[in-house]
Amino acid sequence: MEKFDIPDFYRSPIISAIKESRKKSDPLKKDFSPTRLDFGKLTLLIARHFGFCYGVENAIEIAYKTVRSNPGKRIFLLSEMIHNPHVNEDLKSNGVNFIMDSHGNQFVPWEEITSNDIVIIPAFGTTIETENLLKSKNIDTVAYNTTCPFVQKVWNRSASLGSKGYTIVIHGKYYHEETRATFSHTSLNSPSVIVCDIKEASILSEFILGIRSEKEFYRFFEDKLTPNFRFPEDLEMIGVVNQTTMLAEETEEIANLLKNTMLKKYGEENLKEHFADTRDTLCYATNDNQSATYELTKQNADAAIVVGGYNSSNTSHLVEILSSKFPTYFISDPDKIISREEIVYYDLKQKKEVIGKNYLPSDKPPVIAITSGASCPDSLVEEVIRKLLSFYDVEFTPEILNNQTRSVSEL
C-alpha cells in the first residue's frame, strides 16, 4: 500500500501500533473481529478497520503539498476536502479558502476566481460543468485534482455500461457531492437516475413494470434524472452503480430488487439483455470498515462510540449498523465526551446534537466498542480513548499495548 505524506498531527502512534499488529497477524484480512483491550476497570473493542483511507490520505497529501509549494498564491478548494471538520478547519487556517459549501452554496463568486489562482478539486470529484468552468478560466484541473481513484472507477464502470446502451441507476444521496459528480459524468455516456434507498428503488420498479404513469415518473424523479430522459424507453436496459460510501447490503438489495423486476418483465431467457449484473462499486475502505463494524455487533458491549464528521456518509452508515445492536454515540471529537455520565452526540434521526445521560454503566466495568469513519484522523480516535481511560484513572502505556493487542478471535 502506498505511503502518503500527511501531517504528523493526524497520526497516532498508539492507533498505528494497533493497526500494524493486526496487519502482521492477519496480512490477508481474513479476521475482521475487533481488537480487545482489557484495562480491568473498562474494556475497549477497537474495530479491525477504521480511519483514513487511500483516497483521503491522497487528497490530504496533495492539499498540503500545494500549500507548501505555492507561497503567496491564492489557493481555493471547490468545497470541503473531505467530510471532517478538523481537517477542513486546519486547511482554512493554512490559508485555503472554500469556494462552496458541501451543498453547492457559493462562498466566493466565480467572477473573483482568476487564472492566477489554484483550485483544488476535492476527493469527491466534481461535475463536468464545474470542470469546464475552471478550464474556461485557464485554471489547471489536473495537477490539483484529488478525486479518489475509487470514485473514478465508478465513472469508468458507468461509461462502460453506457457504451453498451444501459441506463445507469445510481444508488446514492442525490445532494452528496460525489453523487452529483457521478451523475454529471454518467450523463456524458448514458441516461441516469438516482435512487437514495430501497424505498425509491421499489418505486422505480413500479415504473419499470408499468404500474405507475409517465407523469408520475417525471414528477417523482425530478432533479434526479439526466436531461432528455425518455420514459419508458430508457428503463428497458439498466445497470446499478453506487456512491462509494453507501451501505453495501442496501446496494445489493437494490440491485437484486431491480434484477428481479427485469426478470419479471422480460423473462429469464432475456435477462442479460436488460440487466447488467455489476458487482457493487463501493471502495475497499468502505467495504472493510463496514465488515469490521458488523463484527463489532457480534460482541457484547454496553455502548458504541463512532468518531467522525456529522455530514460524512460513510460514518453515518457505521452508526446505523452499530445502532441495531448497542446504544451508539456519534461524536465529532473527544470534547463531546463530558464525563462518565454525560456525552453530547449527533442524533441521525433528529439531525442535531443531543445530550446522552448515563451512557456508561456504573455497576460494572463497561465494555465500549469504538470505530471511526474513513475521513477521521487516527489522532482523534486516540484522544477519545485517552478521554475514556481518564475517567477510570487508567494510563495507556506501551506495555499494555504490547500485551493487549489481540483480536477477539485469538482470545
Active-site residue set:
178
Cα separation, 123 vs 141, whole angstroms: 13
- Rounded to 5°, the CA angle 112-115-117 comes to 70
Q: Which residues pair with 225 in a beta bridge?
A: 193
Cα separation, 121 vs 59, whole angstroms: 9
- Gyration radius from the chain CA atoms: 23
Cα separation, 209 vs 366, whole angstroms: 52
CA dist 188 → 127, 182, 191 (Å):
11, 10, 8
Give the three cell numbers for residue 383: 484522544
Single-letter residue type at 366: P
CA dihedral angle for residue 28, residue 33, residue 38, residue 41, rounded to 10 degrees: 150
CB 330 within 8 A of CB 336: no
CB 112 within 8 A of CB 135: no
CB 338 within 8 A of CB 359: no
CA nearest 278: which of 255, 261, 250, 248? 255
Cα separation, 381 vs 309, whole angstroms: 13
DSSP-assigned letter for residue 29? -
Omega before 191 within 30 of 0, i.e. cis? no
Cα separation, 138 vs 357, whole angstroms: 55
CB 96 within 8 A of CB 65: no
